[in-house]
Structure 1
């Protein structure tokens, strides 16, 4: 095992959506984070992307291919405004981008960069990961794993005034 905290099997990270988990920072404060698949594991991975050769769903939904699976972890918050990206049902995603539910800004699932909308020019806050034998580990020195799920799964999170529906 690596010197980190076991999150989940890489194949359990949804193709569209996110795996929500809670971390504690070095000051003892709890925060939520999301684990997402990178948009195109066939493309050259961005610096920092975590790759592993594990069974990944191919286009027809069968588990009959073995191709690199890239995953990334981000703090579950839009940097433009304190808005949760995943409110407990998985982050909205489209074309390899995580969508902020409040203003519709889209963040690249591999780099965390936003090039549109209210959050243009910002980046999601990354967390360090590694994959070993198909299992994703949180290896970030600044965060400790609290557990799967959100901080308060009974809380619906911040309200949104967005007219955008997903």
Structure 2
């Protein structure tokens, strides 16, 4: 069983709209994960997804912007595919019929904990702070 690691509060995720952290997987690779609000009474108030679109591995959460969420869906900044925040499923655009990779978390007393046995917590924020990522060159029809 993985060591439970406190990430942040549900309130912080709801206020900021998304929250980014980095984990290390079993292969030793760092992977970014985003926490996003989930507005489904049958689920936790927050869900965790690997921070990349299933179409071209585009980051969904951008430094200084966060994840763009519209009507309960995470919008890919490159092609405009939209993923449901609660299920991770996409039914449109370039990523249609795919689902984001989930990371196991638990919510207890308003706090969010990493509980996934396949990863270990590395740090808050991006996997590589100095990778020079200026974001995607968008081909989306959506404008923000």
Q: What is the TM-score when the length of structure 2 is the normalising length?
A: 0.88
Q: State the match for 1:130 in structure 2.
A: 106
CA-atom RMSD, angstroms? 1.8
Residue by residue over 1:39-58, the C-alpha shift from the partner in whole angstroms, topping out at 9 and shown as x without a partner, is x24x4x2xxx32xxxxxxxx
**Mapping for residues 1-166 of structure 1, pairs under 5 Å:** 3-15=3-15, 17-38=17-38, 40-41=39-40, 43=41, 45=42, 49-50=43-44, 70-88=45-63, 89-154=65-130, 155-156=132-133, 159-163=136-140, 164-166=142-144
Counterpart-to-counterpart distance in 2, 1:108 and 1:81: 18
Q: What is the TM-score when the length of structure 1 is the normalising length?
A: 0.77
**Uncovered stretches (5+) of structure 1, i.e. residues with no partner:** 51-69
> What is the deviation of 1:27?
1.1
> What is the deviation of 1:15?
4.9
- Comparing both structures, which one devotes a greater share of its residues to helix? 2
Structure possessing the higher radius of gyration over alpha carbons: 1
**Uncovered stretches (5+) of structure 2, i.e. residues with no partner:** none
Moved over 4 A (4+): none
Residue by residue over 1:51-103, the C-alpha shift from the partner in whole angstroms, topping out at 9 and shown as x without a partner, is xxxxxxxxxxxxxxxxxxx1000000001111000121210010000000011
Verify the 8 A CA contact 2:77 2:138 in the aligned structure 1.
no
SS at 1:27 equivalent: coil
